[in-house]
Structure 1
Amino acid sequence: MTVQTRLALADQREGADLAAFLGRLLRFDRAAAVRLQAVPGPGGAGDADVDVDGGGVLAVFGRLPLGGAAVLAVRTVRLAGPVAAADLTVSAGQLLEAVDEAGAALTPPAPVTGPSWAGLLPPRSGWQPLGRPPVDRVVGEVLAAVEEFKRRTAEVPDHHRTRQAVDAIADEIWSRPLAAAEGLPLRAAHAAHAIGFLRPGTPLAAHRAGPWLRLDAPAGSVALRAAAAPGAGLGLSPLR
């Protein structure tokens, strides 16, 4: 994929969903970068200089800036027509501007120097199933935890309500196991909810590969490493 390569999307909905995903990322970090990986469809080639028959997918990886135990959000976009394998990191804001929803197309902007997280992505294979948690139960747990976070932070006296104190409360809450899916922390479900992946009636699936954990939904996936760093909570709020 070159900077000027125009990618045809499978339909207008793909463009709208990608734009919504990028918009949510930018609410959390106006300077967000995303890593793009174009994967040819069946019968395609891995050579970035070779056009292939059939469509493919574009995987868009973004990082929710939630402290040391950051969560990666992944949105896959179905492509139409030939696509060559490619891998680059770009500005999320510039990518959003490049989405042509009406024309169901996308022209990736110029690459940027990738942030450190972009060099450590979850594996593509080796995932073992952990279960299929009901989305209603997952959302219920997340909303209850959000209310607890708000209540407990409000109870902290103003002169003690430092970022460190707020993050400590958040980390204690979001590090708890998710009752609806054994092996996953609440942090994964909260991230999926914050990025808009948890929708009523949609099927979910949890997986693990080594230290990596993943929660899948039709709208996208979130992934994180199992070992959480102290103070790594979801205490940050989206930019207004």
Structure 2
Amino acid sequence: MDLRFPDAPGLDDLRTYVARAKAADDDGAIRLQAAGATLAAYVGILPGSGLMGEGAVIGLRVMPLAEPADVDTTVSLASVTDRLAREGSGSTTLPLPPTTVSVGWAAMAPPRSGWERVGAVSAEDVYTVAREGIAEVASGAPADAGSQAVTALRRHVWGRLTTTTPPVPAGGAFAAHVLGFAAPGSEVTVWTCGRWTRLSTPAGHVLIR
């Protein structure tokens, strides 16, 4: 099955989004969920832990389609990257990869309603939190550190709350930065619903479990 976009820039938008997500997690996945002429593209930026997936950070970009589609599939970012490369620039069609993958975050369904706005933070604050966290992870994880040590460090750095008002999980700021959602000079609104926190801009959303 193919997903058809209104124009080449529409598919290029997905191409950029996938490339950014892949830079954050080279072995990552994307959930493509289409209902009618709207595509919701979810990507996992940070994995959660435990049965409830605490600490999971998920990016969401919503895009228009040229034709209605009924799709809900989770595939590797690498497979989507390959198909986008084959299509080349100027294309408006994404052939869906046939091989699906199973990832824990894709099984979690963020609420569609019931969100309450609790405030906003500046894009500059998001950038600062993200850059400081990236530097802390890099300096605290030497080349010979084991994978468990690196995972524990990342969970510590990205799991804590920022000193902004309102405070948000640092991992959410990291995701908004790496996905390009927080443009300089813009505002990032903060929403909550039950266990979930959402950071939203016109470019996309970050969902934190």
TM-score above 0.5, yes or no: yes
Structure 2 Cα separation of the partners of residues 112 and 163 of structure 1? 26
The answer (yes or no) to whether the contact 1:181–1:206 under 8 Å persists in 2 is: no
Gaps of 5+ in 2: 50-54
The answer (yes or no) to whether the contact 2:3–2:65 under 8 Å persists in 1 is: yes
Partner of 1:136: 124
Q: Which amino acid aligns with 1:195?
A: L
TM-score w.r.t. the length of structure 1 is 0.71
- Within a 5 Å distance, the mapping from 1:71-150 to structure 2 comes to 71-80=57-66, 82-99=67-84, 100=87, 101-150=89-138
Deviation at 1:58, TM superposition (A): 0.6
Gaps of 5+ in 1: 41-55, 226-240
Larger Cα Rg: Structure 1 or Structure 2? 1
Deviation at 1:128, TM superposition (A): 1.1
Structure 2 Cα separation of the partners of residues 172 and 135 of structure 1? 23
Partner of 1:60: 41
Partner of 2:190: 206
More helix by share: 2
Partner of 1:45: none
Structure 2 Cα separation of the partners of residues 28 and 144 of structure 1? 16
Deviation at 1:107, TM superposition (A): 2.3
Which moves more between the two structures, 208-217 or 168-177?
Answer: 168-177
- Is 1:184 aligned with 2:164? no
Deviation at 1:223, TM superposition (A): 1.0
Deviation at 1:183, TM superposition (A): 4.5
- Is 1:175 aligned with 2:159? yes
Could you say what secondary structure the match of 1:177 adopts? coil
Could you say what secondary structure the match of 1:132 adopts? strand
Evaluate the alpha carbon distance shift between residue 201 and residue 77 of structure 1 in structure 2; reply closer, same or farther with a 3 A threshold. same
Deviations 1:102-123 (A, max 9, x none): 1222222225143232211212
Partner of 1:229: none
Evaluate the alpha carbon distance shift between residue 111 and residue 123 of structure 1 in structure 2; reply closer, same or farther with a 3 A threshold. farther
Provide the alpha-carbon RMSD of the alignment. 2.7
Deviations 1:33-91 (A, max 9, x none): 32111122xxxxxxxxxxxxxxx2211111124452331111222212x3033322223
Partner of 2:56: 70
Taking only the aligned residue pairs, the percentage that are identical comes to 31
Could you say what secondary structure the match of 1:77 adopts? strand
2:4 to 8, 13, 17: 8
TM-score w.r.t. the length of structure 2 is 0.80
Structure 2 Cα separation of the partners of residues 14 and 203 of structure 1? 24
More strand by share: 2
Which moves more between the two structures, 165-174 or 182-191?
Answer: 165-174
Evaluate the alpha carbon distance shift between residue 145 and residue 114 of structure 1 in structure 2; reply closer, same or farther with a 3 A threshold. closer
Could you say what secondary structure the match of 1:125 adopts? coil
Deviation at 1:212, TM superposition (A): 0.9
Deviation at 1:125, TM superposition (A): 1.5
